[in-house]
């Protein structure tokens, strides 16, 4: 099982804090992030530390600390501490920028706090005019200045020449923007450190799989190919591709160049798409894996799915696959060749590994791995049994053909009423093949849309074994929407040549709107969620039932994992996507479905348990292992190169945040991608569990996110303050007090609404 989606730090947008109001309904003094500070001196804070509210806070923190000690190991606790300190440091640097700029401009800074709340006893001191303290909640910090609120005529610091309000507009602009500037400097420093040191690993641009309803399928891109150019970017990474797609809108063209080993380069231009239910625009491609099991840090339970053949075989973390059963001689184990996409780098060819798995799907296989044994490496042969697809005992209705690959047998053979769409609307009624055998004739009596690609592939494989050298032809009897009055459909027959060059391409339904592909014919069709036939007499499902949702209980690492309803209603033509769930190895204990059923003329929703058996005629390609992503390390050649890479990464990250926010506003990106404090904390914890360089790089990304988001023109954020200062510079006087108070309330409402939204998203993501 490949390409587990990891944390995508590009989409994590930190939630800025909020500004409190004083008794006059005006924003309280102090530039800060996170929780509002209490204006207090060090002596007053120490005297009131043991107040009732503080004791309650101490009790809650103590209970949290005790829970962490009970729940986590020492190593996990250390990672939590590293994550907390890292996030605090990012926000501390932001406040340090405000502090240094204020001091440089001669503003009286009364408090500089690391953390919020009362100071820890003994961790507060006065140095000059400023109280420095380490507060009980280490979640950032704040700077408190005299007279921060511009134009507050009622303040008692009118005659103080060191008041923030007495400074020029330019000086106040510097103070306001200094936090963002420091965040940008921190990000550049983080990126330079990583590129100068160990370097940064990125997903390679090798194509593992493509979407059956995406532009790459339609433009005849093979899986196993390498993206060698994106626009003006040579030798790009998969991250470059994701960022390029995020930057696009509507009909924007993305120029790409693909290179398949041993073939001429393929240059195309495509448009990104956003289907119903998709979180963001995409081009329908997934990055490749490599023939190596994941490391311990990248999986939560094991390097395999519990209850699968891979779990029973005894694979271990970081096993490197170097050889396996030879399909041409199953009694022999042969080495996997080096990857031709990245020659002389010591990595085996994942796509040859995948090809052999498909050919040997129904057989026991032996996989030879290199495994660490202390300081040495040993080779171990692991025997792995086949796995089979669960059988639901039903046949679904086939839907219309939705996609055709350019240059394929189906291209220009099947024409829809609208020629520009090539195919939409044609329905497959019958399938015949030449040459036929008894097995294929029996299997094609009923067109099972889920099994059809597998049945045709098995037919072609049987012909391979007989050394058949002629054309392999597939005839489709179609119903086509008639374009003449009084007729609904025309019956049409088309004969397509089976193209085995696409036998090993991994074309999948990525999203609910994606159809079921047959790459060898160059087409893909819908599967309707309506039951056409019930083949299991013990099933409680009925013909005509419409499947609306499903869930399943499956074996977990220590106990069964109980399924939950997705909550997203399956629409009529979306069963291809949900059917694909059963193509991956998992030990499903029980399957439940919600169906819409007509009962005495009324439609009702009925929940049923569906009996499952294994379909021994349908072996799975995968056997339950988790394979590591194919990564490529980017490292600077020298210090100047590291500086160039650091600034380039900072610029790209800033643009990523900006275009993500733009996409959310335009609807190109779903609001669910915004990560709140819980997801950011979890992401930081995950990176803290990796090596130090990964954590540093991630903190650089968080710092850039904080800089961009904090400088948005929203009242109470730094960007909102800057808008009022620009207004004052142009008009020669500040905005009226009424306008500023109204803007503050509006800004507070926006931030509180955003906070509630992202917290709800975080809780849903973590617990549901």
User: Residue ranges of the alpha helices (H) in 123-218?
Assistant: 169-196, 215-218
Do residues 48 and 105 share a domain?
yes
Range among 18-22, 162-166, 381-385 with highest mean pLDDT value: 381-385
pLDDT band at 646; cut points 50, 70, 90: very high
pLDDT band at 62; cut points 50, 70, 90: confident
User: Residue 41 has what pLDDT?
Assistant: 45
Range among 59-68, 420-429, 577-586 with highest mean pLDDT value: 577-586
Does residue 676 form part of some domain? yes
Do residues 59 and 188 share a domain?
yes
Q: Considering 619, 648, 664, which residue would you say is the last residue of a domain? A: 619
User: Residue 716 has what pLDDT?
Assistant: 80
User: Residue 48 has what pLDDT?
Assistant: 56
Give yes or no for residue 42 having a pLDDT over 60: no
Could you give the dihedral angle defined by the CA atoms of residues 659, 660, 664 and 669, in that order, rounded to the nearest 10 degrees? 110
User: Residue 251 has what pLDDT?
Assistant: 81
Range among 302-311, 326-335, 578-587 with highest mean pLDDT value: 326-335
Does residue 79 form part of some domain? yes
Please indicate whether residue 316 is annotated as part of the active site: no
Average confidence score pLDDT of the chain: 83
CA gap 585, 601 in Å, rounded = 40
Helix, strand, or coil (residue 649):
helix
Percentage of residues in the chain with pLDDT exceeding 70? 85
Residue 273 per-residue DSSP state? B
Average confidence (pLDDT) over 103-111: 91
From 95, 218, 352, 526, the catalytic residue:
95
CA gap 292, 258 in Å, rounded = 25
pLDDT band at 25; cut points 50, 70, 90: very low
Of 468, 550, 10, which Cα lies nearest the Cα of 237? 10
Q: Is-contact 145 109, C-beta < 8 A? A: yes
Residue predicted with more confidence, 624 or 47: 624
Average confidence (pLDDT) over 415-442: 75
CA gap 218, 519 in Å, rounded = 10
Do residues 595 and 648 share a domain?
no
Q: Is-contact 27 744, C-beta < 8 A? A: yes
Do residues 574 and 688 share a domain?
no
User: Residue 53 has what pLDDT?
Assistant: 64
Q: What are phi and psi of 125, to 5 degrees?
A: -150, 155
| Predicted confidence (pLDDT) per residue in 125-180, tens digit | 898 889 988 887 766 678 888 887 544 434 445 567 888 888 899 999 999 999 99
Do residues 591 and 666 share a domain?
no
Q: Checking DSSP bridges between strand 285-287 and strand 289-293, what pairing results, if any? A: unpaired
pLDDT band at 31; cut points 50, 70, 90: very low
Phi-psi sector, 106: left (phi>0), alpha (psi -120 to 50), beta: left
Q: Is-contact 634 202, C-beta < 8 A? A: yes
Q: Checking DSSP bridges between strand 546-554 and strand 613-619, what pairing results, if any? A: unpaired
* Three-state SS sequence of 532-545: EEECCCCCCCCCCC
CA gap 665, 457 in Å, rounded = 45
Do residues 574 and 722 share a domain?
no
Does residue 536 form part of some domain? yes
CA gap 646, 632 in Å, rounded = 17
> Sign of the C-alpha dihedral, residues 259, 264, 269, 271?
negative
Residue predicted with more confidence, 679 or 558: 679
| Predicted confidence (pLDDT) per residue in 241-290, tens digit | 988 888 887 788 999 999 999 899 999 999 888 777 677 788 999 999 99
Do residues 657 and 608 share a domain?
no
Does residue 36 form part of some domain? yes
CA end-to-end span of the chain: 23
Give yes or no for residue 727 having a pLDDT over 60: yes
Does residue 192 form part of some domain? yes
Give yes or no for residue 378 having a pLDDT over 80: yes
Could you give the dihedral angle defined by the CA atoms of residues 474, 478, 480 and 485, in that order, rounded to the nearest 10 degrees? 130
CA gap 349, 336 in Å, rounded = 6
Q: Which two tokens stand for residue 755?
A: 């906070």
Do residues 186 and 68 share a domain?
yes
Q: Checking DSSP bridges between strand 473-481 and strand 489-497, what pairing results, if any? A: antiparallel
CA gap 27, 670 in Å, rounded = 32
CA gap 119, 126 in Å, rounded = 13
Of 490, 98, 88, 511, which Cα lies nearest the Cα of 282? 511
pLDDT band at 315; cut points 50, 70, 90: very high
State the DSSP string of 352-399. HHHHHHHHTTTS-EEEEEEEEETTEEEEEEEEE---EEEE-SEEEEEE
How many Cβ atoms from other residues are within 10 Å of residue 607's Cβ?
Answer: 12
Its pTM stands at 0.80
User: Residue 483 has what pLDDT?
Assistant: 66
pLDDT band at 26; cut points 50, 70, 90: very low
Provide the domain limits for residue 394: 390-619
**Distances, alpha carbon 690 to alpha carbons 110, 297, 301, 695, in Å:** 39, 7, 16, 7
| Predicted confidence (pLDDT) per residue in 499-548, tens digit | 999 999 999 999 888 999 999 999 999 999 999 999 988 889 999 999 99
Q: Is-contact 216 285, C-beta < 8 A? A: yes
**Distances, alpha carbon 722 to alpha carbons 33, 92, 153, 161, 717, in Å:** 16, 21, 20, 22, 9
User: Residue 370 has what pLDDT?
Assistant: 96
The residues near 640 (Cβ < 8 Å, ≥ 6 apart) are none
Do residues 521 and 443 share a domain?
yes
Q: What are phi and psi of 169, to 5 degrees?
A: -60, -40
Number of domains in the chain: 2
Q: Is-contact 284 215, C-beta < 8 A? A: yes
Do residues 592 and 445 share a domain?
yes
Residue predicted with more confidence, 618 or 375: 618
Give yes or no for residue 705 having a pLDDT over 50: yes
Q: Considering 619, 647, 664, which residue would you say is the last residue of a domain? A: 619
> Sign of the C-alpha dihedral, residues 277, 279, 283, 285?
negative
Helix, strand, or coil (residue 154):
coil
Give yes or no for residue 7 having a pLDDT over 60: no
CA gap 763, 682 in Å, rounded = 12
| Predicted confidence (pLDDT) per residue in 573-611, tens digit | 899 999 998 888 888 888 899 999 988 888 999 999 988
How many Cβ atoms from other residues are within 10 Å of residue 625's Cβ?
Answer: 28
Does residue 599 form part of some domain? yes
CA max distance for the chain: 100
Q: Considering 619, 649, 671, which residue would you say is the last residue of a domain? A: 619
**Distances, alpha carbon 521 to alpha carbons 448, 449, 504, in Å:** 17, 14, 13
Average confidence (pLDDT) over 30-54: 49
Of 123, 104, 130, which Cα lies nearest the Cα of 30? 130
Residue predicted with more confidence, 29 or 746: 746
User: Residue 717 has what pLDDT?
Assistant: 84
Residue predicted with more confidence, 378 or 69: 378
User: Residue 12 has what pLDDT?
Assistant: 37
Do residues 51 and 98 share a domain?
yes
How many Cβ atoms from other residues are within 10 Å of residue 652's Cβ?
Answer: 16
User: Residue 621 has what pLDDT?
Assistant: 94
Do residues 467 and 400 share a domain?
yes
Alpha carbon 65 to chain centroid, angstroms: 31
Give yes or no for residue 29 having a pLDDT over 60: no
Q: Is-contact 2 628, C-beta < 8 A? A: no
Which region among 282-291, 384-393, 656-665, 676-685 has the lowest average model confidence (pLDDT)?
676-685
Average confidence (pLDDT) over 693-718: 89
User: Residue 9 has what pLDDT?
Assistant: 38
State the DSSP string of 434-496. ES--HHHHHHTSS--TTTHHHHHHHHHHHHHHTT--S--EEEEEEEEE--STT-SEEEEEEEE
pLDDT band at 491; cut points 50, 70, 90: confident
Tokens 């790009």 found at: 236
Residue 576 class from Cβ within 10 Å (0-12 exposed, 13-18 middle, 19+ buried)? buried
The residues near 337 (Cβ < 8 Å, ≥ 6 apart) are 348, 349, 352
């Amino acid at each position: 099982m490949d390409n587990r989606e990891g944390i995508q730090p590009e989409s994590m947008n930190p939630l800025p804090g909020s500004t409190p109001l004083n008794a006059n309904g005006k924003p309280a003094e102090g530039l800060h992030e996170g929780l509002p500070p209490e204006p207090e001196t060090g002596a007053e804070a120490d005297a009131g530390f043991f107040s009732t509210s503080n004791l309650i806070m101490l009790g809650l923190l103590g209970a949290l600390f005790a829970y962490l000690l009970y729940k986590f190991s020492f190593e996990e606790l250390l990672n939590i501490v590293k994550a907390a300190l890292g996030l605090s440091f990012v926000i501390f640097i932001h406040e340090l920028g405000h502090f240094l700029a204020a001091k440089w401009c001669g503003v009286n800074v009364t408090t500089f706090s690391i953390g919020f709340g009362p100071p820890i006893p003994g961790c507060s001191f006065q140095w000059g005019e400023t109280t420095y303290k380490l507060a009980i909640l280490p979640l950032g910090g704040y700077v408190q200045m005299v007279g921060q609120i511009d134009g507050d005529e009622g303040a008692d610091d009118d005659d103080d020449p060191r008041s923030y309000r007495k400074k020029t507009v330019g000086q106040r602009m510097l103070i306001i923007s200094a936090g963002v500037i420091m965040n940008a400097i921190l990000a550049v420093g983080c990126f330079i450190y990583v590129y100068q040191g160990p370097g940064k690993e990125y997903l390679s641009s090798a194509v593992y799989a493509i979407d059956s309803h995406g532009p790459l399928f339609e433009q005849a891109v093979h899986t196993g190919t390498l993206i060698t150019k994106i626009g003006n970017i040579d030798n790009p990474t998969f991250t470059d591709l994701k960022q390029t797609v995020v930057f696009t809108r509507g009909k924007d063209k993305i120029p790409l160049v693909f290179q398949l080993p041993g073939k001429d380069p393929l240059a195309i231009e495509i448009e990104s798409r956003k289907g119903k239910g998709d979180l963001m625009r995409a081009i329908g491609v997934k990055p490749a894996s490599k023939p190596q099991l994941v490391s311990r840090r990248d999986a939560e339970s094991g390097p395999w799915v519990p209850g699968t053949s891979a779990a029973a075989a005894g694979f271990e973390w970081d096993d490197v696959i170097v050889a396996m059963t030879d399909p041409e001689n199953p009694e022999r184990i042969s080495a996997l060749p080096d990857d031709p996409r990245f020659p002389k780098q010591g990595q085996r060819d994942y796509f040859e590994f995948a090809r052999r798995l498909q050919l040997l799907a129904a057989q026991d296989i032996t996989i030879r791995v290199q495994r660490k044994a202390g300081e040495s490496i040993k080779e171990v042969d692991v025997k792995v049994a086949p796995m089979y697809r669960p059988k639901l005992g039903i046949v679904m209705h086939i839907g219309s053909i939705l996609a055709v690959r350019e240059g394929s047998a189906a291209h220009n053979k099947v024409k829809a009423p609208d020629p520009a769409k090539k195919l939409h609307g044609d329905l497959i009624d019958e399938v015949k093949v030449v040459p036929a055998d008894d097995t294929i004739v029996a299997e094609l009596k009923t067109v099972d849309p889920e099994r059809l690609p597998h049945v045709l592939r098995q037919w072609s494989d049987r012909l391979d074994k007989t050394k058949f050298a002629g054309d392999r032809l597939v005839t489709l009897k179609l119903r086509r929407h008639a374009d003449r009055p009084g007729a609904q459909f025309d019956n049409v027959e088309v004969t397509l040549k089976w193209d085995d060059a696409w036998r090993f391409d991994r074309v999948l339904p990525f999203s609910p709107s994606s159809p079921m592909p047959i790459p060898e014919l160059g087409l893909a069709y819908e599967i309707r969620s309506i039951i056409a036939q019930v083949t299991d007499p013990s099933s409680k499902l009925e013909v005509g039932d419409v499947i609306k949702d499903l869930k399943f209980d499956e074996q977990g690492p220590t106990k069964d994992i109980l399924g939950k309803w997705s909550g997203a209603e399956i629409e009529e033509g979306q069963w291809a996507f949900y059917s694909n769930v059963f193509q991956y190895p998992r030990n499903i204990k029980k399957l439940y479905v919600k169906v819409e059923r007509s009962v005495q003329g009324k439609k009702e929703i009925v929940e049923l348990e569906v009996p499952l058996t294994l379909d021994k005629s349908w072996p799975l390609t995968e056997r339950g292992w988790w394979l590591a992503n194919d990564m490529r390390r980017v490292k600077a050649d020298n210090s100047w190169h590291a500086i160039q890479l650091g600034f380039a990464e900072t610029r790209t990250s800033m643009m990523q945040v900006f275009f993500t926010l733009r996409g959310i506003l335009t609807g190109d990106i779903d609001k669910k991608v915004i990560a709140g404090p819980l997801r950011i904390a979890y992401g930081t914890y995950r990176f803290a569990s990796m090596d130090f360089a990964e954590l540093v790089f991630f903190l650089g990304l968080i710092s850039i996110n904080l800089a961009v988001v904090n400088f948005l023109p929203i009242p109470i954020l730094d960007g909102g303050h800057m808008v009022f200062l620009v207004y004052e510079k142009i008009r020669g006087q500040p905005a009226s007090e009424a306008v500023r108070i109204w803007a503050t309330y509006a800004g507070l409402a926006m931030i509180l609404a955003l906070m509630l939204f992202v917290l709800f998203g975080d809780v849903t993501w973590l617990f549901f």
